[in-house]
Amino acid sequence: MSGTLKTRSFLVLLLIASALYMVKDTFTYYTMSESDKVIAIENGKLDDMQKNMIHRGLDLQGGMHVVLEVDLAELIRTRIEDSDKTIENLITSSLETSLENGDDFFQVFGEEVAKTKLRLARYFPSYEKGPNAEVLIALEADAKDAVDRAEEIIRNRVDQFGVSEPTIQRSGQWRIIVELAGVTDQKQARELIQATALLEFVLVQEDPQLVEDFMRNVDRAWVALSGPPVEETSTDSTVAATPTDSSETVGSLAELLSTEDGETDIAIQGEGDANRPFSSLVNIGSNMIWVPESNLHKVKRYLAMPEVLDAFPEDVRLGWSNEPRDLKGDGLNYYALYLLKKQAELTGEVITSAKEAMGGFSGAEFVVNVGMNDEGATKWTKITAANIEKRVAIVMDGVVKMAPVIRSKIADGRTQIEGLDNILEAKQLAVVLRAGALPAPMVIEEERTVGASLGNDSVNAGTNAVIIGFFLVVAFILVYYKGAGLIADFALFLNLLFTLAVLSTLNATLTMPGIAGLILTLGMAVDANVLIFERIREELRNGKTVLRSVEDGYARALTTIVDANLTTILAAGVLWQFGSGTIKGFATTLFWGILTSMITAIFITRTIFMILTNRRTMMKLSI
Amino acid sequence: MIELIKKANIDFISRRKTFILASVIVIAVGLVSLIIKGGPLFSIDFEGGTLIQVRFEQGTQVENIRNQLSAIGYGDATIQTFGAENEFLVRVKTSTKSETQIAEIRAAFASINGANDYEIRRLETVGPKIGKELRGDALMAVLVAMLGIVVYISFRFKFVFAMGALAALAHDVLITLGLFSVLNIEVSLTVIAAFLFIVGYSLNDTIVVYDRIRENIKTKRRDKFMNIINASINDTLNRTVITSLTTIMVALVLFFIGGEVIKPFSIALIIGLVVGTYSSIFIASPILIAYEDRLVEKQ
């Protein structure tokens, strides 16, 4: 074998090997039994797998795609005091015009207002009195904040629905796109996107005795449920964890004290302790329980069982943080689990303002300043006075966003929350705090729901179509080109494999049009080989030797193949750019299918021909 | 050696007027249908509205559903069976409050065979605003694709080739769009995707022939331009037919077993593939004759 041929063969084998490696996770996942899947979820392997596999689109696994848009008219109406016909008509007509021309609502509204010489400030007393332009800016800012709040609320809730891989993204200024796999119940979805959050201030149960009771009771209930657990789950609790909770504090503006959190955490040892199945999976901190990410699914499943719930000490409910933290800086993430009082001390309606700012003891810390109404301020004074140095959790829709320590009695409701790492975190917390008080009117502009059963039907139909299509093309080529057809068929198989490999690595989503793209690719991918083979035949007819014909056939067909395939790739690119959702899936598979077909049809089949014609002079070619 | 067409030597050029006339007639039929029906039949993707795919376990009649829906004020709903006998596709115009609308429709379905008998398998609601935007996007996509192609072909070949290819593409899309109107099939987002695929595919076919014309212009300088084009089409005829066969084959597979949801897409593909193959043989290259002077002079 010549040097170049060796290199080529090696490259081909390398390509095949890496493609097989790349599709491994996709293949394993879709052939896994349901019970194996549960195990994989609990030992965290599934999360790793899902990073390198093809996902099913909503149209294949069932789910919901919702486009929400802030209802600008409604939002403005809620801000108006003393509404009258004039302003009502203005809003309605601006809305119609902006819909008609596709213009920005506020621009149209501004223009319409300008025509009427109306003084906007008169309708919106809650904004600073100023010229119309300023009121318009304030309104627009208000609308943006509504979208921010709605997004925050939805993100926060999505976790609770147990939806795998939810997608929440902003589209333009006023829209949020939410994609939920597996959710087809409209009521459920409605709850999710209903844009007012339940915001609560709840005291954290910090009594060590109570925490100990909780741990013991849960351990007992757990043992009773499952028997001693097998040592299947790894735990880090052998390492005495000393998680340093960041110093989150609440204090009044007047008497703000920034003290260091000098807390040492108690870690319970006990890996594989058969009597303490729960304790052995978690680490106990001073005011919260830290659950390693890898044990999260298991712990959550057990804690949701009625037998375990019954074993909770009185006046305890759970609050999870929804963002994990890398406590020890070693790449291992922990979720905080708080034991909370059942009754909330205050709810979000009392909040009148929440704004991120620079402040704190040094004046250079990131803080959130919160204002409360009179009713809230009165209650808050009592609560803070009675619970100094205790933690109060800020809970949105059941999720603990933060649990700062009360540093002092706050008399006027003006509260400053400290301990935020950066301005973004402060901003996010401010949005959370506002979300409990201000509704964000969102309307569904687009909704696409596919039931799981239809999704299943589509998967089956699609898979069958791919398989049947593949064998039809393979048979056709084999009959038509004989021996050379076999090589082309092998290339076609590799084309399918490589496409799936690339899609797996890209973590791509396969939709029904995507499957159609895969099938079409199969039909088109042989084109390159057809071009080459027809050329070889021509050269043979012209009386050239086999070797020469093969060489010339490849050489001459090459530019044609590249020119011709690039147009389809171009079309796929345009589709990808303009298409939405499922259409993008079609563009993706088509793009990669055609691209890999050029590699398989040109490079790989050529290498096989080279191996065949190497050493011996081929007199006849089966083509 | 199996060959579909043994030593193809068909005179396409001298009969070009017949082929072009045939295409013009088909396009005219489509255009008449489009005019009578007031433009293409757009799906809810572009018109806005609600589409519900519903299955009744114990089955029911279209008339039943219509009566129930009329009773609550959806007399203008279109209802058709979909795939199976007990499965239906219901389309209604979107009212301002889509949420209450869907609740009302659910209640109507429940009154047919009871609340546990029906299953909503698919539900799509598109507001008028988004429908309008999607229409703009789709139109933009088709235009950008066409523009990209002109640029690409002008760059790789000569500008006149781009004109020929563009004529073939317009031909393909017009015929497919027209036939969709004649057959009363809705143009949806996926159908637009199929159109764009056809654009790419038809061009693929055309370029193969053009490549050969370019090659033959160099090698057969003394031949008449007409003969060069004829030879080029014939040289590539086997390839054109084989690739079209395999691609149409898989499109047929998709049509027959790909499921009901993807059917309009499959139909667009099949029509487009047939028309696209036809155009690259009978339209795209013969049209070049008109530009003979500009192509041959420069050699």
The verdict on A251 and A160 lying in the same domain is no
Query: Which whole number is the average pLDDT over A267-281?
Result: 67
Q: Which run of H or E residues covers position A372?
A: strand A365-372
Tell which B residues from 220 to 239 touch A, by Cβ distance under 8 Å.
Answer: 235-236, 238-239
Residue A328 placed within a domain: yes
pLDDT of residue A239: 37
Question: What pLDDT does residue A619 have?
Answer: 64
Q: Is B143 on the interface with A (CB under 8 A)?
A: no
Domain boundary among the residues A165, A195, A225 is at: A195
- The alpha helices in A202-295, defined as continuous H runs, are 208-226
What are A448's strand-pairing partners? A65, B124
Chain B hits for A62, CB-CB cut-off 8 Å, are none
Indicate whether A491 and A516 sit together in one domain: yes
Average pLDDT of the residues in A169-191: 82
A507 backbone dihedrals φ, ψ, rounded to 5°? 60, 35
Do the Cβ atoms of A170 and A176 come closer than 8 Å? Answer: yes
Question: Do B122 and A93 meet the contact criterion of CB atoms below 8 Å apart?
Answer: no
Residue in chain A nearest B156 by alpha carbon? A563
* pLDDT value of residue A253: 42
pLDDT for position A466: 93
Instruction: Choose the most confident range, by mean pLDDT, from A46-50, B21-25, B228-232, B293-297.
Output: B21-25
The residue in chain A having the minimum alpha-carbon distance to the alpha carbon of residue B44 is A446
Tokens of A69: 């848009």
> How far is the C-alpha of B127 from the C-alpha of A267, rounded, in Å?
55
Q: Is residue A56 part of a domain?
A: no
In a domain, A619, yes or no: no
- Count up the domains in chain A and report the number: 3
Q: Which of B205, B240, B226, B232 is nearest to B5 (CA)?
A: B240
Residue B182, SS3?
A: helix
What Cα–Cα distance (Å) separates residue B7 from each residue in A130, A541, B10, B238, B245?
85, 11, 9, 9, 19
**Contact between residue B99 and residue B108 where contact means Cβ atoms under 8 Å apart:** no
Does B190 contact A454 at a Cβ distance shorter than 8 Å? no
Contacts of A560 in chain B (CB under 8 A): 207-208, 211-212
Tokens 């979820």 map to which residue?
A41
CB contact under 8 A, A469 and B249: yes
> Is A219 in the same domain as A354?
yes
Q: Which CATH number does the domain housing residue A548 bear?
A: 1.20.1640.10
Residue A315 identity (one-letter amino acid):
D
Q: Which residues 559-618 on chain A approach chain B with CB closer than 8 angstroms?
A: 559-560, 563-572, 574-575, 577-580, 582-583, 586-587, 590
More confidently predicted of B136 and A17: A17
Which residue in B90, B88, B64, B68 sits closest to B77, CA to CA?
B90
With cut-offs at 50, 70 and 90, classify the pLDDT of residue A249.
low
Tell me the chain A residues in contact with residue B215 when contact means C-beta distances shorter than 8 Å: 556
**Distance (Å, rounded) from C-alpha A518 to C-alpha A19?**
17
CB-based contact B44:B187 (threshold 8 Å): no
| Per-residue tokens: A330 | 């070693």
- pLDDT for A231 equals 45
Strand order in the sheet with B49-56: A167-171, A175-181, A63-70, A442-450, B118-126, B49-56, B84-92, B78-82
With beta carbons under 8 A apart, name residues in chain B contacting A538: 235
A473/B250 Cβ within 8 A: yes
Interface of A with B in 440-479 (CB under 8 A): 443-451, 453-454, 457-458, 461-462, 464-465, 468-469, 472-473, 476-477, 479
- Asked whether the beta carbons of A207 and A315 are under 8 A apart, the reply is no
Whether residues A167 and A286 share a domain: the answer is no
Domain identity same for A393 and A491? no
Q: What tokens were used for B72? A: 């609550």
The 10s digit of each residue's pLDDT in B141-184 is 888 888 888 888 888 888 888 888 888 988 998 999 999 999 99
Tell me, what DSSP letter sits at residue A387?
Answer: T
Of A158, A173, A195, the last residue of a domain is A195
Average predicted confidence (pLDDT) for chain A: 83
Do A470 and A487 share a domain, yes or no? Answer: yes
CA A395 to chain CA mean position, Å: 22
A218: nearest Cα among A309, A315, A298: A309
Task: For residue A1, name the pLDDT band (cuts at 50, 70, 90).
Answer: low
Residue-number span of the structural domain to which A457 is assigned: 3-51+451-613
Residue A617: per-residue pLDDT: 62
Residues A157 and A176 in one domain: yes
Are A186 and A297 part of one and the same domain?
Answer: no
B139 touches chain A (CB under 8 A): no
Rounded Cα gap, residues A369 and A410, in angstroms: 13
* C-alpha dist (Å) from residue A135 to A108, A113, A117, A174: 14, 11, 14, 19
pLDDT of residue A123 exceeding 70, the answer is yes
Residue B258 to residue A205: CA distance in whole angstroms: 57
Asked if B208 lies within 8 A of A560 by C-beta distance, the reply is yes
Coil vs helix vs strand at A602: helix
The answer to whether residues A222 and A295 touch, using CB atoms and an 8 Å cutoff, is no
Can you give the pTM of this predicted structure? 0.80
Please say if the pLDDT value at position A233 is more than 50. Answer: no
Residue A443 lies in a domain: no
Residues A361 and A510 in one domain: no
DSSP A271-338: TT-TT-TTGGG-EE-SSSEEEEGGGHHHHHHHHTSHHHHHTSPTT-EEEEESS-EESSSSS-EEEEEE
Identify the band that residue B103 occupies on the pLDDT scale cut at 50, 70 and 90.
confident
Nearest chain A residue to B190, by CA: A583
Of A448, A457, A524, the CB nearest to B124: A448
Alpha helices in B117-262 (DSSP H): 128-156, 159-182, 189-219, 225-257
Inter-chain touch A564–B265, beta carbons under 8 Å: no
C-beta of residue A586 within 8 angstroms of C-beta of residue A516:
yes
Is A421 in the same domain as A494?
Answer: no
Specify whether A416 is located in the same domain as A495.
no
B148: chain A residues, CB-CB within 8 Å: 570, 574
Q: What pLDDT score was predicted for residue A243?
A: 42
Residue A17 has pLDDT above 90, yes or no: yes
Yes or no, beta carbons of B145 and A462 under 8 Å apart? no
Residues 6 or more apart from B6 whose CB is under 8 A from it?
none
Residues in B touching A562 (Cβ below 8 Å):
none
Q: Which of B155, B170, B173, B180 is nearest to B43 (CA)?
A: B180
Report residue A260's pLDDT band, with 50, 70 and 90 as the boundaries.
very low
Whether the per-residue pLDDT at A261 is higher than 80: the answer is no
Lowest mean pLDDT among A285-299, A382-396, A598-612, B276-290: A285-299
The dihedrals phi and psi of B123, each to the nearest 5 degrees, come to -140, 125
Distances (CA, A) of A469 to A321, A522, A565, B240, B252: 49, 8, 21, 19, 9
Tell me the pLDDT band of B295, cut-offs 50, 70 and 90: low
B127 with A464: Cβ contact below 8 A: no
Which tokens hold the place of B207?
A: 């370029």
- Give the model confidence (pLDDT) of A499-547 as tens digits: 999 999 999 989 999 999 999 998 888 889 999 999 999 899 888 888 8
Q: Which residues of A touch B207 (CB under 8 A)?
A: 560, 563-564, 567
State which of A169-183, A250-264, A570-584, B85-99 shows the largest mean pLDDT.
A169-183
* Chain B contacts in chain A segment 509-538 (CB below 8 A): 512-513, 515-516, 519-520, 522-524, 526-527, 530-531, 534, 537-538
B-chain residues near A457 (CB < 8 A): 259
Residues B134, A580: C-beta atoms closer than 8 Å: yes
In B, residues 36-65, which contact A (CB 8 Å cutoff)? 53
- Strongest mean pLDDT among A82-86, A128-132, B1-5, B198-202: B198-202
Residue A622 lies in a domain: no
* Sequence-distant (≥ 6) Cβ neighbours of residue A358 within 8 angstroms: A364, A365, A366, A367
**Contact indicator for A589, A517 with CB cutoff of 8 Å:** yes
- CA–chain centroid gap for A138, Å, is 32
A337 and A476 in a single domain? The answer is: no
Determine the pLDDT at residue A234.
Answer: 43
- ipTM of this complex > 0.85? yes
Phi/psi of residue A256, nearest 5 degrees: -100, 125
Confidence of residue A265 (pLDDT cuts 50, 70, 90): very low
Binned at pLDDT 50, 70 and 90, residue A258 comes out as very low
Question: Searching chain B, which residue's CA lies closest to the CA of residue A463?
Answer: B258
Q: Please give the sequence-ordered ranges of beta strands (E in DSSP) within A386-483, or none if there are none.
A: 392-396, 399-402, 405-406, 415-420, 442-450
The predicted model gives A395-418 an average pLDDT of 89
Q: At what angle do helices A512-541 and B263-278 cross, to 10 degrees?
A: 20
Query: Distances from the Cα of A170 to the Cαs of A98, A449, B50, B146, in angstroms?
Result: 20, 20, 24, 30
The predicted structure's pLDDT at residue A227 = 60
Nearest residue to A417 (alpha-carbon basis) of A387, A427, A206: A427
Is A618 within a domain? no
Chain A residues lying within 8 Å of B134, measured CB to CB: 580
Contact between chains at B261 and A99 (C-beta distance less than 8 A): no
Nearest CA in chain A to B256: A465
Share of chain A above pLDDT 70, in %: 90
Using one digit for the tens of pLDDT, what is the confidence trace for A437-468?
777 788 888 888 898 889 999 999 999 999 99
3-state secondary structure of B55: strand
A454: chain B residues, CB-CB within 8 Å: 53, 121-122, 261
Say if CB A577 and CB A502 are below 8 A apart.
Answer: no
The CATH number of the domain covering residues in B16-42+130-296: 1.20.1640.10
- pLDDT (tens digit, 9 = 90+) per residue, B25-50? 999 999 999 999 988 989 998 988 89
Looking at residue A496, its pLDDT comes to 94
Residue range A325-336, pLDDT digits in tens: 887 778 888 899
| Within a domain: A579 | yes
Tens digits of residue pLDDT in A37-80: 888 877 778 878 888 899 888 889 888 888 988 888 888 888 88
Cα–Cα distance for residue pair A242/A235, rounded to 1 Å: 15
For residue A464, the chain B residues in CB contact (below 8 A) are 257
- B119 contact residues in A (CB cutoff 8 A): 451, 453
pLDDT in tens, B46-67: 988 899 999 999 989 999 999 9
Q: In the CATH hierarchy, which top-level class contains the domain B49-126?
A: alpha beta
Q: How confident is the prediction for chain B on average, in pLDDT?
A: 87
* Burial class of B56 by CB neighbour count within 10 A (0 to 12, 13 to 18, 19+): buried
Confidence grade of residue A273 (pLDDT, cut at 50, 70, 90)? low
Check CB contact of B193 with chain A, cutoff 8 Å. yes
Please judge whether A524 and B238 are an interchain contact, meaning their C-beta atoms are less than 8 angstroms apart.
no
Task: Quote the minimal CA–CA distance from A108 to chain B in Å.
Answer: 16
Q: Per-domain residue ranges for chain B? A: 16-42+130-296, 49-126
Q: What is the mean pLDDT of residues A416-430?
A: 88
